[in-house]
Every structure is written in structure tokens, then in C-alpha cells.
Amino acid sequence: MDRGRLEAFSDGVFAVAITLLALSLAVAGPGHGSLAHLLAHRWPAFVAYVISFFTVGIIWVNHHALLSNVVAVDRVLLFLNLVLLLFVVMIPFSTGTVADYLSPGGFDARVAVALYGAVLAGMSVGFASMFEWSLHGGHTKVQLPRDQWWAARRRFAAGGLVYLVIIGLAFASAPVAFALSGVVALYYVFERTPAIRAATDSDSDLSGY
């Protein structure tokens, strides 16, 4: 398959997922109290939207950087990409669930945040699998030196491990676990693994920027 076709399909899925996030921002109409009260009551929805928006956005940026460095797409990469997208399209659902259940608290809030963490963990596994594929078989234009592989893997694994912590922590404190997912998103806004950095720099060089 042509790499452009894979990117176009993936971009479409990312666009739909990030658009659907806004559905969790709905508030009850007139007759249910003041608008200010309704907006304040829906604070988990707004926080979840921001965290999920940047999480999906970060994955999209890194997905672009990774694929821009790929020489040829094979069947394995196609299915690994589908695994990633499987969890990306679940993010709006898990975001909406957190938005509805976090504020009331209780066991349902803990389950909602644990579900959110599980979806993000699955997404992390999907992307890490694509990254692992890129290290082998001469699949990329710019090869990451072998002595940097484990450092890059650790940086990829860090987010996934934190998502696993979020799943467990959710049953102790749902708000703290949810806040931790925001910290992970903030971290990856600024952090790039050596592989992503090399791919991005290479893509910029090829584009003339």
C-alpha cells in the first residue's frame, strides 16, 4: 500500500475522533437552572475534553513524524496501525464517560477513570508497537542508532506504564488518577523520543523548512 493512503485514512480517523470529543461538552438547556451553574457542574467534561484533545493531538503529531520516516508500508504495519486507531476512536467514548461520572463520585467514577486509563494504555501499546516495527528491517529512511533503542523504548514505555498506574490509582482516588492523565499529556507535548526527533528533523529537511 502507498504510504499516503495509510496516512490519509489515519488522518481521517484522527479528525473524526478529535471532533467527537466535543459531544461530551453538552449541557442541559433552559429550565434546568442557571447557565453558570450548569457549566460549573460540567467541569469534568471540559477538563476531560482538554486532556483528550491534546492526547489525540500528540499521537497524531507523532504518528505523522513516524510515518514520514517510513520507506514502505507492509501488511504488519497496516494491522499495527489499525490497533492504534482502534483505541483512538474509543477515546471520545471514554472521555464522555468520565465527563458524566467523575463529578458524582463513588464507585462509578472510579470505574470511569479506570476505563479512561485502559483506553489510553491500549493506545500507547498500539503506537509503541508501530515504533518497534520501525526499528527493524530497514523500514525507515533515517535509522535510529542501535545504542539509542532502549532509551527510546523507555520513553515510549513511560507513558504506557503511567496509564497502568492510572487504572489502579483510579480505585483509590478517581480525581487524582484523572489528573495524572493530564500530566502525561503535558509531558508528551514537550518530550520527543530520539526516533521521533530524528524523523521530524528529517521530514523538515526534506520539506525545506
**pLDDT number for residue 65:** 87
pLDDT class of 1 with cuts at 50, 70, 90: low
**pLDDT number for residue 202:** 47
Q: How many CB atoms lie within 10 A of CB 149?
A: 15
The DSSP result for 66-90, as a single string, is: HHHTBS---HHHHHHHHHHHHHHTT
pLDDT class of 31 with cuts at 50, 70, 90: low
Average pLDDT score over the chain: 84
The pLDDT of 44-62, averaged and rounded, is 90
Cell numbers at 10, concatenated: 489515519
**pLDDT number for residue 26:** 72
pLDDT tens readout for residues 138-182: 777 777 777 787 877 777 777 788 999 999 999 999 999 999 999
Give the amino acid at 198: A
The pLDDT of 12-38, averaged and rounded, is 81
Q: d(Cα 97, Cα 93) in Å, to the nearest integer? A: 6
Q: Which residue has the higher pLDDT, 61 or 103?
A: 61
**pLDDT number for residue 206:** 32
Cell numbers at 16, concatenated: 473524526
pLDDT tens readout for residues 195-209: 555 555 544 333 332
**pLDDT number for residue 191:** 67
**pLDDT number for residue 197:** 55
Cell numbers at 27, concatenated: 449541557
pTM over 0.85: no
Closest CA to 133 of 87, 82, 91: 82
**pLDDT number for residue 32:** 65
pLDDT tens readout for residues 86-96: 999 999 999 99
Name the percent of the chain in helix, strand, coil, to the closest 5: 80, 0, 20
**Phi and psi at residue 140, to the nearest 5°:** -120, 155
Give the amino acid at 189: V
